[in-house]
Amino acid sequence: MRRIVLATVVLAAVAGFSTSLFAQGAPPQSSAGAPYTIEYYYKCQWGHQEEFMQLFLKNHWPLLKKIESTGRIVSLKIESPAYHTTEDGRWDYRVTIVYKDSTVATSSNPDEDAFIKQLWPDQDTYKKEEQRRFEILLGHWDLPVTDITPK
C-alpha cells in the first residue's frame, strides 16, 4: 500500500513539474496595432560610461526624438541602475522605446538617413563619433518586452 501511495505522489509531482515547464515560454505578443516596447541595454568599458552617454545624447538621442515627432515612437526613456550587479549581469544604461506597433518597431525607417543628414551636416564627425560610441561598448542587446499585467 505504501508503494502505491509513494508511486502516486511521485507521479503527481513529476506531472506537476512537467506541466509547469510546458506552461512557461514566451509571453504572447501584443495585438495588432498595439504599442510595442523594446529595451536597449548598453554595457560600457569601465571609466567610459560618461563618454558613452555624452556621445549618445549628442549623436543618437536627437535622432530618436526626431523619429518620435513623426509618431513612429510613442515614448522614450533612459535609465541607469542605482546599484551595481555582478560583472556578467552589469549594464550601464537602458533605453526603453515604445513604438507605435510591432511593424514599425521591426521595420526600417525610410526617413532615417535623411534625418541623420539633416541633424548632422558634418557627416565625417558624426560617423567618427558614432564609431567611438560603439568602440567603448563591451556589450549591447535589445530585449522586446510584452506587458502581461492582468487587466
1-31 in b/e form (b: 16+ CB < 10 A) is eeeeeeeeeeeeeeeeeeeeeeeeeeeeebe
What's the predicted TM-score (pTM) here? 0.78
What average pLDDT does the segment 5-32 reach?
A: 48
Cell of 9: 505522489
**pLDDT tens digits, residue range 109-141?**
999 999 999 999 999 999 999 999 999 999 999
Q: Report the range of poorest mean pLDDT among 10-19, 78-87, 89-98, 121-130.
A: 10-19
- Structural domains of the chain ordered from first start: 36-145 (3.30.70.100)
Residue type for 18, please? Answer: S
For residues 151 and 116, the model is more confident at 116
